[in-house]
Chain A
């Protein structure tokens, strides 16, 4: 087994990444990213509307502003590399290939949703697309990320099946304050587990600015480094730069079976959740970031290089509008789960006398399977 260097620093990361694939993205890739980022944005616009109309309930966290993070990092790995994230998960689900239909129907609490309406906005799971969930408890997904990577490595080394994989585990800047995350970091470094912890650092943990909630906030990568994990800081608003940095980093983690730590700087345009008066930040601050919008940036690059025209953009927007509209109709028309679904999916082997009041059974199969 490869033993990677125990020490890492910003500088050393930069020097040896040339060993790994770092071909710049093709125009095709960029166009695909533009499409998916715009899909997420339109999807989230519709999500907010549907929430206002009370078609969606519970906690709902909007991804707008952060699109380049999910699209750029997921776009740097293989389809069968595992992904796990927190509750702000619509973008990851769509970037992973979940249909907008399954994602929206889930939020509508309908049977054709990815979790049959049992999970809602915070719990997007998609087995065929190697998405192991959105998770609601802050930090809970970080040991899971370690475990997904552990399992793939075990399969390869002990069972002799599969291939070298790298797992992507997303978390917010607020989640780095959780003990579970530090346990996961230590474990994966000691045991050479190829998982990359991607901090989607949008500067706020709910209403608390990063300097108020975490120590050493300007140097987050020192946390990863202190565990001997290769750690880099990446601008999460420019998807091309992001890819050029992240892709070789991910390849190196895969090849050397080492963990990674990424401080991915981004910004969320909307409130923390759908009920956030946002008194902790100014409109000016939000506007400053909107000027650096990742979709607008990629679009203007593509137009400048002549690979895309204003007309193409109009056509793309129109297509996506129609696509998301179709997803809304789908979600609207899908039926709510029947009352019996309350008792299904509780046990894989529902034996007698598990409950004093309830008989469990298997209901409808998950629509994604």
Chain B
């Protein structure tokens, strides 16, 4: 009779395929993170750089690779000075060969390194769609739990700089559909640092969505090291009329609209999701139970969007708490135009949010 060897169940939280499972930092709830407000004001791009540099100082396996990241100091100056500090072995310029360098980095991650791959824009990641979608998120599964893929893909996402149709992609809805990957999308410098540090430490592939439009935004960023847990939203503004749920740059549009609404006596919630996958649906439900109304503001196109997903989950999980049909406001369902005014109309801009809230608040 055949004797089958014993196979032991996995008891650790983090899969043993990732050898350095103890590498995960302590992840704290919002009220134990350093204060969001303060006077150490730096740019969003500097916050990203600080996150990468801190992690690279800590762990030699971490490296940064992409177009113009080294000698040019970054097409958008995110990696400025990093070549000087870490040298050309760890800050690596690539040819314009996204498919090649994304695939190569994935194998480096399987082999125990911790690559950060910069896409000058997520719009260029489609050239690398096969490795980033077919290899990275499926490696652990396809190898039956032998190979993990701890890698960060990061770059600019979204429209707003008159870059027209091919260069203005919001990839969140397309890519978030794929199981096996995680997706973070910071709306401000504080989150940019705290989320990117977590992304680098995370044992799974993380798609990290920045915005060229926000790189120059300035806000308080703690000097100390901190890690923002994935799947932990932040209530950026508290109200009672309706809960606005958003992520990435449109969070700021929501806050602008909220100011104007407040002048009219309409106080709204603004919930910054921070990560799309995992999605902190519990925090949304908690707020919807108070405001009884929800508007999801999403810079992807409406059809099968992140907003569609949030609305579905809300209907599934707290339908009875709603006083009005759940609503979504997306980017207009057309390719991105170049002309300035058309592009403004196309985005889920503060004016459109204001109108949508007025409609929802009026609806019973």
Contacts and interface: CB of A to CB of B under 8 A. Distances in A.
Given A119-B338, A206-B67, A280-B72, 20 more contacts: A59-B163, A59-B167, A119-B164, A122-B167, A123-B164, A136-B163, A137-B124, A174-B95, A177-B95, A205-B95, A206-B68, A206-B75, A208-B67, A208-B95, A213-B93, A280-B71, A342-B337, A343-B334, A346-B334, A356-B302
B134 interface: no
Q: Which 3 A-B pairs have the closest CB atoms?
A: A120-B338, A109-B339, A57-B162
Nearest to A138: B96
Given A177-B95, A179-B100, A342 B342 contact: yes
Interface string B115-142: 0000000011011000000000000000
Contacts of A123: 164-165, 338
Contacts of B342: 109, 117-118, 336-337, 339, 341-342
B336 to A, nearest CB: 9
A58 B161 CA distance: 6
Contact of B303 (A214, A339, A355): A355
Contacts of A213: 93, 95-96
A50 interface: no
Contacts, number: 135
B163 A139 contact: no
B97 A177 contact: yes
Interface string B324-341: 000000101111011111
Contact of A180 (B127, B165, B337, B340): B127
A111 B72 CA distance: 37
Contact of A58 (B97, B163, B346): B163
Contacts of A57: 161-162, 338, 340
B303 A207 contact: no
Residue among B303, B332, B334, B345 with the highest chain A CB neighbour number at 10 A: B334
A358 B334 contact: yes
A301 B95 CA distance: 39
A358 B302 CA distance: 10
Interface residues of A, number: 45
B99 interface: yes
Contacts of B166: 122, 135-137, 140
Contact of A208 (B72, B123, B126, B162): B72
A178 B332 contact: no
B96 A175 contact: yes
Interface in B282-305: 302-303
Nearest to B164: A120
A117 B337 contact: yes
Given A119-B338, A346-B334, A178 B97 contact: yes
Nearest to A344: B334
A339 B345 contact: yes
A139 B127 contact: yes
A357 B72 CA distance: 43
A346 B334 CA distance: 7
